[in-house]
Amino acid sequence: MKKFVVFTLMLALFASCSSVVVPNYIVDYSDKGREERRLEEERIAAEKAEKRKARMQGYSDEGESDVSQYIAKKEIKVDRDKCIRIVQISDFHSAMFGSNEDTLIQKIKDASPDLIVLTGDIFDFETKYARPVEHVRYLIDGIKDIAPFYYVSGNHEFYAYHEEEFNYIITDRGGIVIEGKALALTVPLGKIILAGLPDPFIDLSIEERRKAKDNKEKYLERISALKSETEALQQKMALAGEKVLCTVLLAHRPEYIDDYKKAGCFDLVLSGHTHGGLWKFGKIIKGVYAPNQGFFPKYAGGLYEFFDEEKPSALVISRGLSYQKPAIPRIGNNPELVVIDIVPHESRF
């Protein structure tokens, strides 16, 4: 009987954490959006001060709010025709979502994105049977006619030593591998620049990959080279009288965010890798463990904004789609398909 109860609870936990959620993050660079954000931050700061005061006076409270992450406590809506919509697929790990990935594909269709980005760990050769490639093919075949799609690698693409085959599967279906490149793209609102970095594992030998240690020096060189290419493209477009609504970087690893910010040419970074910190407990613990960050990671998942700096920027970390890798079950941390709505600053039009 005890075994049956444990099995039932585990099954219920697995079922509750294998359904896909679709968070919608708003990255609003407009003057109105920044003013709303400032007022909301002031409100939350005042709320925290009141709670501290009440606690000192012996009253109980529900715990302090966390303002380190994007303020998602109030519903923010934007007009669809005034924003750039990106759907982000990350850490798919050749997972299964319905017959031929139909469940996931339908959610992407429903979002009606301007473009789709795949930010690494899409393929996983540690999954069984024909899944490592077959399920990615189902997914790509299902999204290729929805919107243009762009891909960068994650560390798992390099564990398998089939990275060239993976790139071929993407390009053969009309996708673009955007590693070490910066491209000008046309979206309904105007022009944007999309840039991408391969995972740091690209510069490691087979033995080094097994040890799972990055060569940070070489990765920083790649960031520097991409910065130069991106800035050259920005200057070329400026000379041609073309305005850039925003510049977006695809990079699997969020732990390098300080280096991406130092580059000074990226408005938004889209990453994955963390699997949402595996376990999430409400607003108190937003992630228990993330690779390359360790326990209680600073960047576990969600939208982080750095608008208090000279060059405003933001980071979105997808909590990933895989509910089977790693083997540790997700708790309070559903797989997610991320939708990002970008509202450019008025001066960019």
Q: What is the pLDDT of residues 210-240, one digit of tens each?
A: 777 788 899 999 999 999 999 999 999 999 9
Averaged pLDDT for residues 63-78: 43
Q: What is the pLDDT of residues 180-193, one digit of tens each?
A: 999 999 999 999 99
End-to-end CA distance of the chain: 66
Contact between residue 295 and residue 259 where contact means Cβ atoms under 8 Å apart? no
Per-residue pLDDT for 343 more than 80?
yes
Q: What pTM does this model have?
A: 0.84
Residues ≥6 apart with Cβ < 8 Å to 332: 17, 279, 280, 281, 282
Question: What DSSP string describes 36-104?
Answer: HHHHHHHHHHHHHHHHHHHHHTT---S-----SS---SS-----GGGSEEEEEE---TT---SGGGHHH
The SS3 of residue 300 is coil
What pLDDT shows up at residue 349? 64
What pLDDT shows up at residue 326? 57
Residues ≥6 apart with Cβ < 8 Å to 88: 116, 117, 119, 270, 272, 316, 318, 337, 338, 339, 340
Any idea what the Cα angle at residue 324 is, between residues 255 and 87, rounded to 5°?
55
Indicate the pLDDT class of residue 95, thresholds 50, 70 and 90.
Answer: confident
What pLDDT shows up at residue 178? 96
Indicate the pLDDT class of residue 65, thresholds 50, 70 and 90.
Answer: very low
Dihedral sign for Cα atoms in the order 259, 88, 344, 66 = negative
CB atoms within 10 A of CB 35: 10
Q: What is the pLDDT of residues 141-189, one digit of tens each?
A: 999 999 999 999 998 888 876 788 888 999 999 999 999 999 999 999 9
